[in-house]
Structure 1
C-alpha cells in the first residue's frame, strides 16, 4: 500500500532561502525590473531634480545664477557638453562660457539664439531662460561688462552685494567723467580756418596767377573709408557706445564711418586695415600686428585733407616796377 508523503509545514516567520536576500530583505514580493526600466526611472528622477533646480535656482542650499542653473540641470540629466555641441552645432567653448556667464567671446546678436537652443535641448522654458539669463548679465545684445561668476566647484555662499554696487557706481561715474572730459577737449580744440592762399601781384600789371587759388577740400566732405587689405576683425562704435560694425571683414571689403560724430574704431591687427579716400591711401589703422582700441575716426580727417590738398601756387615778381 502506497504511502502519501506530505511536505513538512513551514513554521511561521520562516522564508525560503531563495526569497531572502543576504541582508535579510524579503524579496518574495519584489519583481525585478529590466535595465531599460531602470534607466527610465533614473531619467525621471533626473528630470525631477532638474526641474527643482530650475524652479528654486538652488543646489544643495547654495543660490545659483542662471548660468550655474543650466550647468546643474545638464548634470542632473546626465548630458555632456561635447554631445550637446554636436547636436546643437554650438561650439563647446560657447556652451561652457554660457554656463560660466563669460560670454565675451560670443559675437553680439548670437547670445539669445544660443540660449534658446540650449534651453530647448535641456527641456526648459526657453523665454524664461533668456529673460532670467540676460537680466543677470545686463542685456541681450551687450553683456561684455557683466562680471563672470565663480565656476562650479568653487561656488561660495553669496555675500552682500552693496560693495559690488558701490564699486560699479564708482566705475560708471569715472567712465562718464572721462567721456565728458574727452568730448569737451574735442569741442574746444582750435579749428584751422580755411583761407585762400596769398597770390603775389606785380605792381606794373596784373599777375598771371591772379585767378589761381589753392583750395583745401573741407574735411567733412571727404569720403573717408576703412578698407580691409586682408581678412581681419573690426569694430566701429558711435559716440554713445552704439556698435555699428563688429565682425570679420574679408579682404577688399570697405566701411564708411560717419565723420565729425565722435565715432571710434578698434581692430585686432591695425595693419589689416587702411584709411583711404578714393584711391589715396591715408595710412593704416594701426601698426602691423598691434591691437587698436577706440581710435578716433575724426582724428584722421586733417591728415586726409592734407594729402588731398593741391600744391600751393605762389607767383613772385620777376622784375620790380620802376617809378
Structure 2
C-alpha cells in the first residue's frame, strides 16, 4: 500500500518525535509519524526534571502529548516499524516491516536507541527502576541511600565525583581490575567512596527494586540504587543505510539545528545525545521540526 506523499516523515513517536510533529503540525505541514510503541524507558516508573510533568509516568506524558499532537489534522500516525529508507527524486521513501511504502520530502529520525543489557541476572528487570542512568532524572528519589556505580577508569572517576552530590554512601563497582589512577582512587577514598573490583554475579531484587548485589566471591552487599551507562546501538538501521555520520560514541552526528550530513535528513532525541532526558528530547524535537519547516519554506523560494 502507498499512501499520499508527505512533507515530512518522522520515524519514532516518543517525546522527540511528537515534539517535532507538533511543531510541523502547527506549521501546516503534512506529516506522517511512524512509531513502534516500544520506548526505551518503558520500565521507568516515573519521569522527573521536566517542568509541569515532574513525577508523572512516561506513559502519561506521551499519552497526553500524542493526544495534543493529534489535534493537528495534517499529522497522521502509523503504528509500525520502519525498516528501510532510500533517497528518491521526491525526497525519501520509507518502507515498514509490513511492506507499506511512504514518501516524504524531508525525514526526521527520532528512532531512539536500544540499550544492551549486561548478562547479569536481575539487571534487565531492574533497569529504569533501581538500576538507573541519570542523577538528574532519578538521583533525588534515591538521595542519601546506599548507592553503587558500575563503571571504571576516567568515566568511573567522573561519574563517581558526580554522584557524591546525592549520597555519602557510595561504592564504585569496576566489575574487573580497576583502571582508575592512583590519584583518582585517593581522591575518591578521601570522599568516602569505596572501590570494589570483584565482578557482580547477580542482582537480588523485589519487583525491580534492588535489595543486594551478590559478587562472584560470594559476598553480599546491600544496595538500593545502581548507576550504569550501558552500551547501546541505534534502534534503527536506516541512519546507517542512508550514509549518516555518527559520533565516536555511536550517536547520530547533528549540527545545532539537528541536521545530519545528509541533505533533508534531521535527527533528534536519544539517538543524537548522551544526555538522555525527556526535557532534552522535547527540545531537540522542537528544533528539528522548526529547522525542517524552514528548509521546506526556503525550497519554495
TM-score, length basis structure 2: 0.26
* Greater Rg by CA: 1
More helix by share: 1
Point out which structure has higher relative CO (alpha carbons under 8 A, 6+ apart). Answer: 2
